[in-house]
Structure 1
């Protein structure tokens, strides 16, 4: 029994991945994540305006001369912003607001970023139907959090909602995953190829479980985390138990540059 995508579907997924990461404001364009806690007098490096936290909002004070726009309209005065609010820009650069664990930061996505100009594609293993698995989702009674190291060297919380249980390499294995807002799953994993044949760890984004708890787990779609494209991302490392004891010779390997 298999409802898995075909090799043709996988090639289309690969095409969309390259298109997304190389977009003008995609992961390759991230040039900086600037923390408000590190801002001297509310000023961020190479980002105009004055920034301060007020409750659950970030307050930006700027003049028209600063060149910051919100939804295409120049910011002149004070605006209150929430995490995830889009439409903020400085010229061609997009400014994204994030607040992991209550700490505010402004991310700068620059279409002229050097990494974007050097990008030549994503190296990957060829498609192998043996890695298109059927897993079982076992939800936890309640979400629980663990502390894991992040790519910037700091530990942060990671919320997990259940285990994906599957058979591969002659045995049964399980990895802890989170449930996304749309019901799909997300997990960060490593395996015997990590750090040698592939990046240090990779992300899995399986679809939502079926009514009977089964999940299409296509390891051909193991993908590079955002921090493989820019050092300014804060990717979490795999939580305890999410390092598989065998080689997953499937999915994305590394960023190719010219």
Structure 2
């Protein structure tokens, strides 16, 4: 049986969850959020033009280069760029965001490869978005867990939704919890907030009511004794659940849970007329 962290005011719990979920969807569908992406372009040494971005782009040992024609420009870090510009060698998972008119031209490195990924507010996928379906928030899925850190971070290679691509993350420890009377353990990576953790996982709902490839869960920094709140109500889809133009990581093998976590976000509803989303093999 799942165990609540403490007696919970269900009305307040649901209201807080609704606010969080609305903010999450708002960011996803923002003018330059993931739903605004119009193409995913892998750079090489040959300067190449793309129909949804100004300039000819290439990847060189000295960094990502763009060559703008006389009638093209980009705005970046308070400057207007003309002609040839070197964005430098990018670190993994870094994104630069130069602006072209009402669009943002994301320049990034994913899986060791330089990419250009334009984001246009008028993208049909963004305009058609009507929100992410989710299970009703249930305090019974807000579980008390325990964080067990590794002595040193362990570089961990995981697959990606893009065939042949791999990501390497530092696993910092494991999160242990109990559900249905059984113990479970998840490998955790560094999170997006100081001391926070990030878990990628699948479960028995994956491919049934939730997106098949992955979901993610952010966990706040552990207490001094390692106690953490594992609130599966806040299990979210990664961008790849909405668009094939993402490079999301897959969970490590040990994070494929056998139980059905009927909490958090469900499989997004595709806009009318949209092609089915692709799902990578496990």
Structure 1 residues 17 and 52 mapped into 2: Cα distance closer, same or farther (>3 Å)? same
Q: Secondary structure at the match of 1:241?
A: helix
Distance 1:135 1:247, change over 3 A: same
Give distance in 1, aligned partners of 2:244 and 2:101: 23
Q: 1:220 aligns with which of 214, 228, 233?
A: 233
Aligned to 1:117: 127
Residue 239, structure 1, aligned to residue 246, structure 2: no
Does residue 34 of the first structure (1) align with residue 41 of the second (2)? yes
Shift of 1:74: 3.2
2:69 aligned with 1:59: no
Any unmatched runs of 5+ in structure 2? 273-282
Of 184, 192, 200 in structure 1, the residue corresponding to residue 204 of structure 2 is 192
Over 3 Å counting, the alpha-carbon distance change for 1:166 and 1:176 in structure 2 is same
- 1:50-96 Cα offsets, whole Å, 9 max, x none, are 33345463232324512432246432133232544544022222111
Give the Cα separation in 2 of the matches to 1:112 and 1:247.
37
Q: 1:7: which partner in 2?
A: 14
Task: Determine if contact 1:36/1:44 at 8 Å carries over to the other structure.
Answer: no
Q: Which residue does the alignment assign to 2:189?
A: 178
Give the 3-state SS of the residue equivalent to 2:220 in structure 1: coil
Work out whether 1:49 is the aligned partner of 2:55.
yes
In terms of mean alpha carbon deviation, does 151-160 or 241-250 score higher? 151-160
Selected match of 2:98 from 71, 80, 88: 88
TM-score (norm 2): 0.83
Moved over 4 A (4+): 1-5
Q: Quick one: distance in 2 between partners of 1:31 and 1:50?
A: 17
Residues 56, 196 of structure 1: alpha-carbon distance in 2 compared, 3 angstrom cutoff = farther
Give the secondary-structure state (helix, strand or coil) at the position aligned to 2:130.
Answer: strand
The count of residues paired between Structure 1 and Structure 2 equals: 256
Which deviates further from its counterpart, 177-186 or 18-27? Answer: 177-186
> Conserved in 2, the CA contact under 8 Å of 1:97 and 1:105?
yes
Question: 2: distance between equivalents of 1:206 and 1:18?
Answer: 19
Task: Please give the secondary structure, in 1, of the residue aligned with 2:39.
Answer: strand
Aligned equivalents of 2:115, 2:267: Cα separation in 1: 27
Q: 2:158, 2:127 → 1: CA distance? A: 32
Q: Which residues of structure 1 form unaligned runs of 5+? A: none
Contact 1:64 1:74 in 2 (8 A): no
Alpha-carbon distance between aligned partners in 2 of 1:77 and 1:23, rounded to the nearest angstrom: 30
Q: How many Å separate the matches in 2 of 1:19 and 1:162?
A: 31
Change in Cα spacing, 1:57 to 1:211, as seen in structure 2 (3 Å) is farther
Q: 1:96-115 maps to which residues of 2 (within 5 A)?
A: 96-115=106-125
| Mean Cα deviation higher: 58-67 or 107-116 | 58-67
TM-score, with structure 1 as normaliser: 0.90
**SS of aligned partner of 1:130:** helix
Q: Which structure dedicates a bigger proportion of its chain to strand?
A: 1
Give the RMSD, CA atoms, in angstroms.
2.2
Give distance in 2, aligned partners of 1:25 and 1:167.
39
Is 1:250 aligned with 2:268?
A: no
